[in-house]
Structure 1
Amino acid sequence: MREVTTDRLRLTPVSPSDLDELFALHADPRVWTHLPSGRHLDRERTARDIAAYQEDWERHGIGYWTARRLDDGTLVGVGGVRLVLDGQAWNTYYRVHPDQQGNGFATAVARAGHTAAAALRPELPVIAYLLEHNAASRATAERLGLSPVWRGPDVGNPDPDAVRLVYADRPLDPELLGRIARR
């Protein structure tokens, strides 16, 4: 499950060798139109994320992948699943380069992550945590078979009017849902 090939993508665990490309992706304001405060302004932030993602692979045998096109090796983005909430759920993540958006790549990366999560820990729910006004992300979550289970304020967002949605592959325990809502 470390390296996965789909019909159009090669997925490899995020590594320090991806720093330049992943920093450029995360620094691009076009991928942060729905959450401008998430944009990476320095390489150190991206490097810290990469280190955390590598730790996921070491500790849990799964984490986020760097996704590249099979045909030419072009960076598509980053995504997959990782354990969150002290190992109580799988978080779905996808961030796709603007030039590659609209081609189903977010769905492909996330679906590969869901398949890997189901093989490792099927008893854990799979969630997607997204902003309500991000219609593309909502559509991806729904294509993955996730359903909305919570709607409320986006704690910590600089925009006080931001609304956060939680999608899941099953009904969630009220205690877990409460922890997600406070996140």
Structure 2
Amino acid sequence: MARRKTPTRVSDTSPLSSESPVPHALRGSGALSHVLAPLSTEDLPELWLLHSDPRAFELDSIGPLETVDQMQRVLGVWIASHERDGYGYHAIRTRGAGTFLGVAGLSGMPLGERWVANTYVRLAPEAWGTGLATAALAQSLRAVASLRDAPREAAFITADQNLPARRLAERLGFTLSTESDPTETGAHVVYLLDLHDYS
């Protein structure tokens, strides 16, 4: 079986259903009704459900993970990256109830000859269209920008056809660049942001 790539791209797709169980306070605002917590091995079951759901990869260039072992290896990489760099990906949960809504954050990666903080967000379908991706990533960008030893530039890499993700990048202040995707060939675009803008 071919080895799957570690998910590193941004996904923020379809609009919220009127049947959504996401609290009303999240709809259209994404504000302050969520908490971000560093990922741990205890998040594996919920991460696996999310990353094996084809709906969460609808506009992505890669498909969902195929086995829980793949998710376990990816989670190990994410946790190790957080420990190495002092910043990383977080579980997004509702404040109070702690319902899992997705994952978001930044992790260090090479881009050209420099090190940047790479953006990642993937939401459970019930959280789409709520503004949660914008709020969670803005919170993550501010946290990384405040670190003394963090890269001063963030990257946002997504499939060329993923228009919701591209709009998300622009809402966050990223600018489309001419950089090549450093992780795979294909129809991807790279947006960049000076983290001083979030200091």
TM-score when normalising by structure 1: 0.80
Unaligned residue ranges in structure 2 (runs of 5+): 1-30, 195-199
Q: 2:128 aligns with which of 101, 114, 118?
A: 101
Alignment RMSD (CA, Å): 2.2
Cα offset for 1:148? 0.3
Q: Distance in 2 between matches of 1:10 and 1:35?
A: 26
Q: Is the 8 A contact 2:177 2:192 kept in 1?
A: yes
Specify the SS of the correspondent of 1:115: helix
Which residue matches 1:164? 188
Amino acid at match of 1:21: E
Q: Distance in 2 between matches of 1:115 and 1:101?
A: 22
- When structure 1 is superposed on structure 2, of 145-154 and 35-44 the one drifting more is 145-154
The total of aligned residue pairs comes to: 161
Which residue matches 1:119? 146
1:142 aligns with 2:167: no
In structure 2, the CA distance between the partners of 1:122 and 1:44, relative to structure 1 (3 Å rule), is closer
Specify the SS of the correspondent of 2:66: coil
Unaligned residue ranges in structure 1 (runs of 5+): 1-5, 171-183
Identity across the alignment (%): 29
Cα offset for 1:19? 0.6
In structure 2, the CA distance between the partners of 1:64 and 1:41, relative to structure 1 (3 Å rule), is same
1:80 aligns with 2:108: no
TM-score when normalising by structure 2: 0.74
Q: Is the 8 A contact 2:174 2:192 kept in 1?
A: yes
1:77-133: CA deviation from partner (whole Å, max 9, x where unpaired): 001111111871000110001111101111112112111111114652111001111
Cα offset for 1:155? 7.0
Q: Distance in 1 between matches of 2:162 and 2:171?
A: 14
Higher relative contact order (CA 8 A, sep 6+): 2
Q: Distance in 2 between matches of 1:102 and 1:34?
A: 15
Structure with the higher helix share, 1 or 2: 1
